[in-house]
Structure 1
Amino acid sequence: MDDDSPQARWERRTEVTLAVTALVFLASYTVLVLGHGLPAAVRDACLAAMLAAWALFGVDYAVRWRLSGQRLRFVRTHWLDTLVLVLPLLRPLRVVKVYEAVQRRHGQPRLALHARVIVYSSLSVSLIGFAGALAVYQVEHAAPHATILTFGDSVWWTCSTLSTVGYGDVTPVTTMGRTIAVGLMGCGLALLGAVTGSFSSWLLQVFSREGDERPPGS
């Protein structure tokens, strides 16, 4: 049975809206970073949209904190929401919750656990990678002695960093760029580990079922 607490009802009512807000934030940030030749009015509008999205996430966080009645324990039990509020580039992760919300509202069965882990991890890697590539390009492309000069360079570097390959042909030279790199490395290890572990567990279950279904003596 679904949780019918005030906090749960609030989350069900706002999850799709917040996911759309996260997409608006990401789209605005993309235009702000890559739209070098755009008029100042357009860039100001993108910045205003980003700030409005941040404010909306802050209101949502405050309401859920209030409804939970957990005080400081809420911060520990909702650490991802806390990170999303503090670190703007993690806000697109809100989009990952859309699938669950749509499936519940239509009464449709959800994917199996292993498939959900793989789908959610893949979405998370894509969103974090794109946002990370934007952030690194923003702080690196105009820095002295920079090797990440184009957004394509940034995407290539982000892919090699998230996959933990790390070719080293392009690297961040600024403090902020290296800080983002550390975060991407951690996310890459965690998410790729989740996918690998889930896939391995699924294979073990498949092989186990096949062994059980074999006739005796075969």
Structure 2
Amino acid sequence: MKEPSPQIRWENRTQRPLLALAVLFAVAYAVPIVLPDASPAVKRACAVAEWGVWGAFAVDYLVRLALSEDKKHFLRHHWLDLCAVLLPLVRPLQLLRMVATLMLVGRRARMATQIKLTTYVGGAVTGLLMFGSLAVLAVERESPDGNIKTLGDALWWSFTTMTTVGYGDHSPTTGLGRVLAVGLMLSGIALLGVVTANIAAWFISRFDQDDEGDRRRTAAIEALTEEVRALRAQVAVLSGAAPEPPPSAVAGATVGAPSPVAEPQPTAPVRYEAH
């Protein structure tokens, strides 16, 4: 059995700790938004926790890059991870560190084979709804023209945006809010496509299973028929009865058979009388 590479071992060992850090990030991100009147110490602790989680994911990316055997291949196939790490460093995009953390968690979660597709899709929908609501509430609450002022309004807006319904009763007015709206719309379409493809694949697999069952039953019937024929031949041999000749053999014997030859009749003995 081939031993896993150091990169794979690192990813397996850090999978659960990074998911726990992601939960910590969710709490630290939500508290200042849900409780805007929280004390400065609480807000400062939440900010430190957020940046600490981002730093952990950044270190994880650098370690994986250092442990990879082909670094060019790693950079080509993990460029989204790099973007997620660099995104919060740009000051105008610091509020999007939530998006960066979600991207990193999603990339690591897809590497775990024990996570099923349905669980991943369900977690992605829940995370996008929650974080999208919190993010748009954070950027729209202080906007003079904004109409998303409460967490309920934000949740309603996120749900209608992800499902691409868009009633229009709540909509973002800031540039960053509209960027979040575009991200939610694209994410909703992508998740809908994944769910649809998963359902179609399930139906196709069911049809394939039914066809395979029919093929197996047909093969079993043919095999049973051959066994019955073989048993009949064995019974005929054991009982001493000659098997019936095929029709071709009977026809050949009738047409090309030679005419029978008459057997010679015995003659009477000759008697000689003495004179």
TM over 0.5: yes
Q: Deviations over 1:114-147 (max 9, x none)?
A: xx22221121111122111111000001201111
Q: Structure 1 length as normaliser, TM-score? A: 0.83
Query: How far 1:55 sits from its partner (Å)?
Result: 1.0
1:45 aligns with 2:52: no
Query: 1:22–1:95: 8 Å Cα contact kept in structure 2?
Result: no
Query: How far 1:83 sits from its partner (Å)?
Result: 4.4
The farther-off stretch of 207-216 and 181-190 is 207-216
- Cα separation, 1, equivalents of 2:132 and 2:11: 27
Match of 1:107 in 2: none
Query: 1:68–1:74: 8 Å Cα contact kept in structure 2?
Result: yes
Matches within 5 A, 1:23-42: 23-42=23-42
Match of 1:195 in 2: 195
Match of 1:16 in 2: 16
In structure 2, relative to structure 1, the CA distance for the partners of 1:185 and 1:63 (3 Å cut) is: same
Q: Which has the larger radius of gyration?
A: 2
For 1:89, the aligned partner's letter is M
Higher relative contact order (CA 8 A, sep 6+): 1
Q: Structure 2 length as normaliser, TM-score? A: 0.67
- Cα separation, 2, equivalents of 1:62 and 1:14: 13
Match of 2:97 in 1: 88
In structure 2, relative to structure 1, the CA distance for the partners of 1:152 and 1:3 (3 Å cut) is: farther
In structure 2, relative to structure 1, the CA distance for the partners of 1:17 and 1:133 (3 Å cut) is: same
Q: Deviations over 1:72-125 (max 9, x none)?
A: 542331244334423522424627966986xx7xxxxx57xxxx2222112111
Match of 1:7 in 2: 7
- Cα separation, 2, equivalents of 1:189 and 1:99: 19
Query: 1:31–1:46: 8 Å Cα contact kept in structure 2?
Result: yes
- Cα separation, 1, equivalents of 2:127 and 2:43: 22
- Structure 2 gaps, min length 5: 88-95, 219-275
Match of 2:171 in 1: 171
Matches within 5 A, 1:1-218: 4-85=4-85, 86=87, 88-90=97-99, 91-92=101-102, 94=105, 110=114, 116-210=116-210, 213=213
- Cα separation, 1, equivalents of 2:2 and 2:38: 47
For 1:149, the aligned partner's letter is K
Name the count of aligned residue pairs.
205
- Cα separation, 2, equivalents of 1:149 and 1:63: 42
Q: Percent identity?
A: 37
In structure 2, relative to structure 1, the CA distance for the partners of 1:135 and 1:40 (3 Å cut) is: same
- Cα separation, 1, equivalents of 2:71 and 2:204: 42
In structure 2, relative to structure 1, the CA distance for the partners of 1:136 and 1:11 (3 Å cut) is: same
In structure 2, relative to structure 1, the CA distance for the partners of 1:17 and 1:66 (3 Å cut) is: same
The farther-off stretch of 207-216 and 194-203 is 207-216
